[in-house]
């Protein structure tokens, strides 16, 4: 195959993560172009990438096998849920969600899964849960000590359109195909779902009882892609670009002028990514002024304002688009 015609097959998430990923790519210099809101095959300004949108729930399983996608972005939650054997290349630190166990607001006396299990058992009622996370929900419920005391090793009954399994008909888990928060109280009693702010849950008269896990979007790779030298190197190139966005989001690029008598004092007190760049100001024949150029952590900025106010002048602050860790990946 001609080297110039090689392409890396890359699948990114459709839905709530789409705008986050598109914006993230933009900061990395990768520009996605959609012909319409229903476009599942956007163009990109890198001719070596072939992009397709899929639901994040599906993506991990499409990165397994010789002829499948080479690279993808999905949530950690869906990798765990599907048990997909993929390589996690990079945590993008975007799209953070909590996976939560939620019940109706009217259940004021309920503060845990244990409370629910005991109540429904005492009243001899079937406890029904709706979720897209079948694996996670099964593990969450079966590992609960109260559940073990009440039902032993019996697995909850899992109900999907194509299959039903499990032995314990007193606790039923229904597979949801979306709008999970709308199911209680008619179809089910409680839900296990993901949320960013909890606003959708509150709008549907639900409240969070327990946080089961958290998840962020991650860059994942088909393990077979690393057998191809060209794909392996391309994945490294993309990783560097995306790491640059993550690093830049945590840093500030600052410029300032300082008098020569204050230079050493300021440098001693100034945090820096490595070493600040120091240069004499052009046209300063008496060597009274120096310019300092450095990168600091955003979290340090407020704490150094008193130092800068005392010793520096002409402070300029930039938020960098990328800081590429070129020496870390070879």
List, in order, residues 6 or more apart from 234 with CB less than 8 Å away: 8, 48
Q: How far apart are CA 323 and CA 313, in angstroms?
A: 26
Q: CATH number of 251-318: 3.40.50.1820, 3.90.950.10, 3.30.70.120, 3.20.20.80? A: 3.30.70.120
Q: CATH number of 3-95+216-248: 3.40.50.300, 3.40.190.10, 3.40.50.720, 3.30.2270.10? A: 3.40.190.10
What's the whole-model pTM score?
0.87
Find out whether 56 and 131 touch, Cβ atoms under 8 Å. no
In a 10 Å sphere around its CB, with 0-12 CB exposed, 13-18 middle and 19+ buried, how is residue 72 labelled?
A: buried
User: Domain 98-214 - what CATH class?
Assistant: alpha beta
Residues of the chain with CATH 3.40.190.10: 3-95+216-248, 98-214
Q: What is the pLDDT of residues 114-162, one digit of tens each?
A: 999 999 999 999 999 999 999 999 999 999 999 999 999 999 999 999 9
How high does pLDDT run on average in the chain?
92
Helices (H), the chain: 18-27, 76-82, 113-122, 134-142, 145-151, 199-203, 229-248, 263-269, 298-311
Q: What is the pLDDT of residues 266-318, one digit of tens each?
A: 888 887 767 788 888 876 666 688 999 999 999 999 999 999 999 988 889 99
Residues of the chain with CATH 3.30.70.120: 251-318
* pLDDT attached to residue 15: 86
């Amino acid at each position: 195959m001609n080297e110039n015609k090689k392409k890396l097959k890359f699948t990114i998430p459709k839905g709530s993560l789409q705008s986050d990923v598109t914006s993230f790519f933009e900061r990395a210099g990768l520009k996605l172009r959609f012909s319409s809101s229903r476009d599942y095959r956007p163009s990109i300004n890198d001719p070596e990438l072939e992009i397709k949108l899929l639901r994040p729930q599906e993506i991990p399983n499409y990165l397994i096998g010789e002829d499948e996608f080479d690279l993808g972005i999905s949530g950690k939650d869906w990798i765990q849920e599907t048990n997909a054997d993929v390589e996690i290349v990079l945590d993008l630190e975007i799209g953070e969600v909590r996976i939560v166990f939620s019940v109706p607001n009217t259940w004021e006396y309920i503060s845990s899964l244990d409370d629910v299990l005991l109540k429904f058992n005492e009243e001899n009622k079937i406890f029904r849960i709706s979720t897209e996370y079948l694996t996670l929900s099964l593990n969450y419920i079966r590992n609960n000590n109260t559940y073990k005391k009440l039902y032993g090793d019996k697995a909850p009954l899992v109900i999907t359109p194509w299959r039903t399994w499990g032995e314990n008909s007193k606790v039923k888990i229904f597979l949801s195909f979306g709008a999970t928060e709308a199911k209680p109280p008619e179809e089910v009693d409680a839900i296990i779902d993901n949320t960013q702010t909890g606003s959708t849950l509150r709008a549907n008269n639900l409240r969070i009882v327990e946080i089961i896990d958290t998840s962020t979007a991650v860059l994942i790779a088909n393990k077979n892609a690393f057998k191809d030298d060209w794909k392996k190197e391309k994945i490294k190139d993309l990783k560097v670009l995306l790491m640059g966005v993550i690093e830049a989001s945590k840093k500030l690029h600052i410029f300032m002028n300082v008098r020569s008598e204050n230079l050493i004092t300021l440098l001693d007190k100034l945090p820096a990514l490595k070493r600040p760049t120091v240069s004499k100001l052009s046209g300063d024949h008496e060597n009274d002024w120096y310019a300092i150029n450095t990168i600091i952590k955003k979290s340090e900025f407020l704490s150094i304002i008193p130092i800068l106010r005392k010793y520096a002048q002409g402070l300029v602050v930039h938020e960098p688009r990328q800081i590429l860790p070129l020496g870390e990946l070879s």
